[in-house]
Structure 1
Amino acid sequence: MIIVVAACSQYSSRPGAITFHNIAARYNAYFMAEQNMADAEFEMRKGYKENYNQLLPILLPMDSVLAQAVKPKLLDAIKKASIVAEKHQNSKWIDNSYILLGKARLYLGQWADGLEALRYVYANGRDDDDKNNALILLMRAYIEHKDYSNALGVAEYLSQQPLNKTSQRDFYLTKAYLHQQNGEYLTAVAILEETFPLLKKSTETARIHFAAAQMYDRLGQYALANRHYKSVNKNKPSYDLGFYSSMNSLQNEVVLNPERDLTNVGFDKMLKDRKNDDLKDHVFFTMGLLAEHKKQIPEAVSYLQKAAAASKGNMQQKAYTYLQLARIEYESLENFEMSKAYYDSALAILPQEAPEYRLVADRKRALDNFVTQYTVVSTEDSLQRLAKMNPAALDNKIDGIIEAKEKKRLEEEEKARKAQIAAQNASLQQGGGNPLVTGGERRWELYDPALVSKGKIDFKRAWGNRPLEDDWRRSSRPLRTLAGNNAASGTDSTGVAQTQQENTGLKKGTPEWDQVHALLKKDVPLSDTAFAVSQKKKEDALYNLGKIYRFDLKESHRAIAAFERVLSEYPKTQYKDEIYYLLFLSNEENTAQKESWKSKLLSEYPTSTYARLVNKSTDTGGTSGNATKEYEAAYKLYADGDYTKALEDIEKNLPSYKGSSMEDKFALLRVFLIGKVRGKEAYGQAITEFMRLYPTSIYLPRLKEMQEFNSLSMGKR
């Protein structure tokens, strides 16, 4: 027995011992580990939810969150693979076990341990094929960590190695995945074209064809994209994959043949197919995109609204529909309030982990501020036009506004009354139930974020900001003014039919009419003082609009128009030097205009901060290291009490660091030094200037406190 056991030692190089451990490792520990890994990958593949609105990754991402559902299987795979390393050292399966162990750890998010196992195989492996397979997996791990330089290094090495057919297929797919994730779509599809002959017919092959077609779409190669979309259906796709492939193929046919009518391309057939009931939203969405592509904006909006209405539980698709509607309302229709409402709705249902979430949130915040400023400009424009009318024309204009709003209100109440009666009749025919949710297809409006947002806007426009209280619309309440655009002449909406019979609207010449007329007229800036206040509001709002266009919405051409309008309408504006500077920045593509605004700034405001900024140094002094040293030198002068010299150095160096992370830090020290050298008034001006120049600085809260303290001290003096 001792001799037999010794002969079968894992450290023995005897043929019998090696054969024994090869069999024991392969058909015991490694077999079970491999089965656990296969089961885990199958479950993760089933659990992965494809987003067909986004570019499909060529390889499924190694997601540790997705792996939590199969964590026991992965841990058992690690345990079994470790047995081979511990008890079968002379087995030829030890390299395979380390690769499997490394892959399991990568799936679980244990990157350091996973990379170490794969590097061990590369350094100590006995079989070249196993070493190559470990490197392919290592390359994929680098891609998942967005370490593209290391991934490219591994790819360069592997490209020089002789690979067997399976390894070559995996290497090509991983390298294509690398270039896809790095945004190099042309390289990625070129590699995939070499890979497809190595792939067998399968759902995974169909998926890769779809990813290749999407990349061709992004490259504008629609005919090549369609070739791969058609290949999807030849490779056993899932139903959804086949549907989206057919959908995108039809979309490309319309793009390639602009004369084709959307109604006879094939979308109607897809809408009639009962199997596509839960996918109708995407059909309408695609039709909306194509209508917009054909410059048919009203049709595009109609299709997209149908897509939103057809979404049944697919909140992600609904969010994308709202985003498209928001963009069209903003860019094509310039209906900014509706655009904001759609952004609000999209943000309410878009998952926070979605790649667009942060961009949408930023856009929504920018539009919130934008709509506020735009409303001020529109309102003051309208009021100022009214103020310039003669008294009789003004009275007639206000009476016309009241008549139009009364007519619209009565029409809307009549429409609401008929809709409620129709809904009640439908409910009675079906045996009762809530008329707002009967019929299967209708949704209660409070479940639709877009309708809720629109309702809030309409309510605020008509009634303003109301406190939460009962019976706020009673006729005994004083009527509100309509400086914000609309008259407050609503009635209680309960008992619509009865109200319609009793209320036929305001009558001209009655006290109620005269009261509404007086309240509307009160908003018109008829006195010089009121007109000046209105002008100031409009000037500030236009200036703020220009900054929002420039910095938040990244629309330089609109920013230029807004700033030039300020200069045209308010030649003596307090923002003149800053607007010159912002026009200098906004004319990136127009060198002549850029130099013109620079010249104006330097000639009219040669000592301003903005003049120093446009004259910033172009030498190599703007590096991070030099900036830190120069800041520390200036701060030492400040700490030593040599304020004048420190201020001279700061004002000389500040323009050199425009756009760097140190800029606002230099500017903050400059504010302190101005307070020491030039007195409190200059100090207050420097604080205000800082707040205008650096609205997103982390030092802004501190500056606001300093401003309040300076104002108090100036008041006491």
Structure 2
Amino acid sequence: MTTRNRFSKYLFSVFLLGMLVACSAERNTFTSRLYHNTTARYNAYFLAKEKIAEVEQNIELAHREDYSEPLPVFFPIDSATIEQNEGLIEDAHGMASKAIDWHKNSKWVDDSYFLIGKIQHLQADFDDAINTFKYLNVNSKKKDVRHQALVQLLHAFIDLKKFDDAAYVIDFLSKETGISKTNRQKLYLTLAYYYEVRGERDGIVSSLDKAVELTSNPKEKSRINFILGQLYQRAGFDAVAYEYYQKALKGNPPYERAFFSQLYSQQVVELEKSKDFKKVRKYYDELYDDRKNRDLRDVILYEKALFELKQDNQDEGIRLLTLAAKEESPNPRQKGYIYHKLSTIYFDEMKDYRAAKYYLDSAVENFKETDRLYASIQLKKKVLDDYVQNFEVIQKNDSLLHLASLPRDEQIQVAEAFIKSEEERLIREAEMKNQQKSTGIFDNLLAFGGRGGGSSFYFDNPTAMQQGSIDFYRIWGNRPLEDNWRRSSKGFQEAIGETLDQADSIENTETEEQPEIVLPDLDDLLNQIPSEKSVLNEMKAEMEESYFQLGKILYIDLKEPNRSIGYLNRLLSDYPQTPKKPEAYYTLYMASREAGLPHGQYKEILNKDFPDSPFTKSLNNPNQGSSSQDHRAAGELYRQAYELFNQKEYLSSRQLVRRALEDYPLTRNTEKLWLLDIMVSHKLDGENAYKLKLEQYLQSVEDKDLEKLARKMLALVAGEDKPLQANKNLDEKAELDTPDTLLVAEEEVKEPSPYKENLEQTHIFILALEPKQSQEAKHLTADLENFHSRHYANARLRTGTISINKENTLIIISPFGKADKALEYREKFLTEFNSDDLPPEIKNSSFVISIENFQQLNKRKDIEEYKAFYKEAYK
């Protein structure tokens, strides 16, 4: 080796050693920073970011869009999808951690912390995620990272429905400057999500309008435009909706979204307004025939059915919905909408509650618990389930009791006639199938060989196959196709059992195989006719209860007083000794009065035969209710139930409420018990069921104070904790239920305040002026700025003006971190602030208000209403 080569190797070794020393994470040299910045960004941080992006892509792919509802702003995160991507998430977390641990002096440490916070958020580890984002906001020197963290923190608070904290973050971000275009776009999307969770459509629209202007990704822009189109269409702005649907077609959207964009575009502009019905129907038919729309045929038939229903073509609408339900589709939720629509038609238009119940069952099977309609369907389904259960008890027991009353020979004749009718039905079905069978070129060719038309070749003729099967059944009974089927060991009763199981099935799948015979056996039918006296009595008792329950369900739940009267009269005629008489007469009185029929006779019967019944007393003294003893007992149950409610023992609370309503149906506490039951429903059944029950309650409640309270609860349902707060006034009125106060006149129910006391929230200070005073106070703002510079130089206080109505212009000073800071400011303002433009009465009427309460004030426009709350909460 030459001297030159040895020297070169020596220099390389020295250089390599220098680089290793320079790459130490503890050194702060230019070489070290360059190395760690490059390695952190293009290795660990880059790979972590890519893996998180892949997880988010998988979340999007796992989500099935529901185009019948406004699309969600963000793709919902399913825990099952997160579990499936656990490997990717762990890899991303490991990479981001390495970027922090191995490259401590790089510029990408804060960015990597943000990725870790995002991973924690995806895994629903909210506490750690929130702490990570808060840490970055306080400690990061990179403005973009701070803003990213704050937006993601806002997202987390919205997920948790911590709206106070979310409002604070929104207020904080509103004062930040230099927010990048990317972060502003994410912020507006998150604001839209905030309003979406709160159910405020106007807020969603305004936020998305701003977000779409900042969105550069064509596919994301297409989706936002589609959501805006849906929202504007539901608001009745068809022309605006059309523009957004057209924009949604740009950016190469998925085929399904492009399909719905085009469909809804046509609906808002042409289809809904066109009088050329033939043209509209042709449009839907062309969509259906397009092979690209094969997976969307159920949607097309559904939309066409809705069109026909709007033209009052009910039969055609039902036919199309039935065809839509039979179409194969990868989207079960669409089937849910189809069955739900069929159920609604049979419920509202045809009053066929039995059919409505079974269609609703099918709808529930196709919806998820998180779908919007699920809760309201379950609520309606409970009523229909009760109706059908009692209806079918009557139908079944009435037939069996009639058969039991016949002589044996007549019973045999009825059973044989039933079997004969079943045979004829099966033959008719086979003939219809034979007629509907398609005839193609191969059928025509076979016809010349004596096997055409499906008529003479046995296995091409469903009618012949069915007849053969019936003949087989007559000789051998119901037996499946198997080897050694003639064995005598094959039990005849075993075959009958199989037949009965099949007979109970409502729906059988059609196949091209030999039809399966489900004819019942004569002896089995005869054995089903009851003969023992105890069984007959039990069936009569079941019918007695069902007649009574149907009468109540039809009157109370289904608002069908005429049909209710029929069942209750049948109860009284068939079961004259029923202990349900008092309530039956009471319900007959109420139903007849509502139906505009004679009803006084029922009151006379109650007074003559049941003078001590609570139902009689209720009719005679509708304002008094039942006896004091019943009222006291119901009141005690109410108090216990409310205490359980406050202890979050919701199921136990519901049981007590239901017991009170069952044992004491007519007291002055009844309507309050109903309202408490609705409060429990909010906790157990969800917000949709809560809203629906409140709406139903408002249709029947007679106590005006409780009506006001219920309306206020309904108005306040946007905030999760507000209905509960509203009902504190109900608890105050519960003192009426104690023995000491039962005989005292009821005190007035106080209307619940829409405002909420939260002294820890960000507050603002407000001066309320008339518009004329505001215009004349030319120097007031300058005086305020001078006051702030003297006393609050480092507080970053801002002064603004807003007109909330024609009578009031508000001067706003903000922000104050908590209520005590705002009140301290007001005290100093009252004692030390002077301005010729500010009258003393305006100065003294100043007040402070939290951010959330200010949003309420801005909506309600009633300053005096807030001042009443302010005097109680802050003085």
Check the 8 A contact 1:209/1:232 in 2, yes or no: yes
What amino acid does structure 1 have at the position aligned with 2:317?
A
Give the secondary-structure state (helix, strand or coil) at the position aligned to 2:233: helix
Report the Cα distance in structure 2 between the residues aligned to 1:453 and 1:140, rounded to whole angstroms.
53
Check the 8 A contact 1:206/1:232 in 2, yes or no: yes
Report the Cα distance in structure 2 between the residues aligned to 1:661 and 1:579, rounded to whole angstroms.
26
| 1:161 lines up with 2:208 in the alignment | no
Deviation of residue 40 (structure 1)? 2.8
Report the Cα distance in structure 2 between the residues aligned to 1:280 and 1:472, rounded to whole angstroms.
39
Report the Cα distance in structure 2 between the residues aligned to 1:341 and 1:12, rounded to whole angstroms.
74
- Which one of 321, 337, 348 corresponds to residue 331 of structure 1? 348
- Which one of 282, 288, 312 corresponds to residue 305 of structure 2? 288
- Which one of 163, 178, 188 corresponds to residue 148 of structure 1? 163
- Which one of 422, 432, 452 corresponds to residue 419 of structure 1? 432
Partner of 1:38: 53
Q: Deviations over 1:220-246 (max 9, x none)?
A: 433332222222112321111111222
Partner of 2:407: none
CA change 1:321–1:14 in 2 (3 A) is same
| 1:261 lines up with 2:270 in the alignment | no
Report the Cα distance in structure 1 between the residues aligned to 2:68 and 2:233, rounded to whole angstroms.
13
Give the secondary-structure state (helix, strand or coil) at the position aligned to 2:85: helix
Deviation of residue 112 (structure 1)? 2.8
Which of the two has higher C-alpha Rg? 2
- Which one of 249, 252, 266 corresponds to residue 265 of structure 2? 249
Q: Deviations over 1:5-34 (max 9, x none)?
A: 676554555555434432232122112212
- The correspondence of residues 633-644 of structure 1 with structure 2, limited to 5 A, is none
CA change 1:31–1:364 in 2 (3 A) is same
| 1:607 lines up with 2:627 in the alignment | yes
TM-score, length-normalised on structure 1? 0.63
| 1:297 lines up with 2:314 in the alignment | yes
Deviation of residue 537 (structure 1)? 7.5
What amino acid does structure 2 have at the position aligned with 1:168?
R
Check the 8 A contact 2:550/2:567 in 1, yes or no: no
Check the 8 A contact 1:567/1:573 in 2, yes or no: no
Q: How many residues align?
A: 547
Partner of 2:664: none
Report the Cα distance in structure 2 between the residues aligned to 1:293 and 1:21, rounded to whole angstroms.
67
Report the Cα distance in structure 2 between the residues aligned to 1:37 and 1:601, rounded to whole angstroms.
70
- Which one of 224, 230, 247 corresponds to residue 214 of structure 1? 230
Identify unmatched segments of 5+ residues in structure 2: 1-13, 402-413, 444-450, 463-499, 508-516, 595-615, 648-666, 681-875
Give the secondary-structure state (helix, strand or coil) at the position aligned to 1:56: coil
Q: Deviations over 1:594-652 (max 9, x none)?
A: xx99664558974277656899999x999749999xxxxxxxxxxxxxxxxxxxxxx99
Report the Cα distance in structure 2 between the residues aligned to 1:214 and 1:623, rounded to whole angstroms.
42
Partner of 1:108: 123
TM-score, length-normalised on structure 2? 0.52
Partner of 2:219: 203
- Which one of 240, 250, 263 corresponds to residue 234 of structure 1? 250
Check the 8 A contact 1:612/1:655 in 2, yes or no: no
Partner of 2:771: none
Query: What percent of counterpart residues are identical?
Result: 24
Q: Deviations over 1:24-65 (max 9, x none)?
A: 321221122122222332333233322323331112123332
- Which one of 351, 355, 361 corresponds to residue 344 of structure 1? 361
Deviation of residue 567 (structure 1)? 8.8
Report the Cα distance in structure 2 between the residues aligned to 1:453 and 1:292, rounded to whole angstroms.
38
What amino acid does structure 1 have at the position aligned with 2:321?
L
CA change 1:107–1:172 in 2 (3 A) is same
Report the Cα distance in structure 2 between the residues aligned to 1:458 and 1:376, rounded to whole angstroms.
17
Partner of 1:641: none
- Which one of 207, 219, 224 corresponds to residue 191 of structure 1? 207
- Which one of 23, 27, 31 corresponds to residue 38 of structure 2? 23
Check the 8 A contact 2:158/2:194 in 1, yes or no: yes
What amino acid does structure 2 have at the position aligned with 1:222?
D
Check the 8 A contact 2:631/2:669 in 1, yes or no: no
| 1:574 lines up with 2:622 in the alignment | no
CA change 1:310–1:544 in 2 (3 A) is same
CA change 1:69–1:100 in 2 (3 A) is same
- The correspondence of residues 666-685 of structure 1 with structure 2, limited to 5 A, is none
Report the Cα distance in structure 2 between the residues aligned to 1:96 and 1:415, rounded to whole angstroms.
73
Partner of 2:550: 545
What amino acid does structure 2 have at the position aligned with 1:545?
L
CA change 1:378–1:24 in 2 (3 A) is closer
CA change 1:13–1:368 in 2 (3 A) is same
Deviation of residue 143 (structure 1)? 2.5
Report the Cα distance in structure 1 between the residues aligned to 2:257 and 2:678, rounded to whole angstroms.
50
| 1:372 lines up with 2:389 in the alignment | yes
Q: Deviations over 1:48-100 (max 9, x none)?
A: 32232333111212333223333222211111111122132332211111111
- The correspondence of residues 575-654 of structure 1 with structure 2, limited to 5 A, is 576=582, 600=620, 606-607=626-627, 624=643
CA change 1:662–1:133 in 2 (3 A) is closer
What amino acid does structure 1 have at the position aligned with 2:338?
T
Report the Cα distance in structure 2 between the residues aligned to 1:602 and 1:175, rounded to whole angstroms.
51
What amino acid does structure 1 have at the position aligned with 2:299?
H
CA change 1:597–1:23 in 2 (3 A) is farther
Partner of 2:870: none
Deviation of residue 339 (structure 1)? 2.0
Report the Cα distance in structure 1 between the residues aligned to 2:384 and 2:400, rounded to whole angstroms.
24
Report the Cα distance in structure 1 between the residues aligned to 2:69 and 2:392, rounded to whole angstroms.
35
What amino acid does structure 2 have at the position aligned with 1:541?
S
Report the Cα distance in structure 2 between the residues aligned to 1:256 and 1:84, rounded to whole angstroms.
58
What amino acid does structure 2 have at the position aligned with 1:174?
T
CA change 1:144–1:369 in 2 (3 A) is same
Report the Cα distance in structure 1 between the residues aligned to 2:363 and 2:422, rounded to whole angstroms.
30
What amino acid does structure 2 have at the position aligned with 1:187?
G
Report the Cα distance in structure 1 between the residues aligned to 2:174 and 2:159, rounded to whole angstroms.
20
Partner of 2:609: none
Check the 8 A contact 2:336/2:367 in 1, yes or no: yes
Report the Cα distance in structure 2 between the residues aligned to 1:600 and 1:560, rounded to whole angstroms.
23
Partner of 2:90: 75
CA change 1:550–1:607 in 2 (3 A) is same
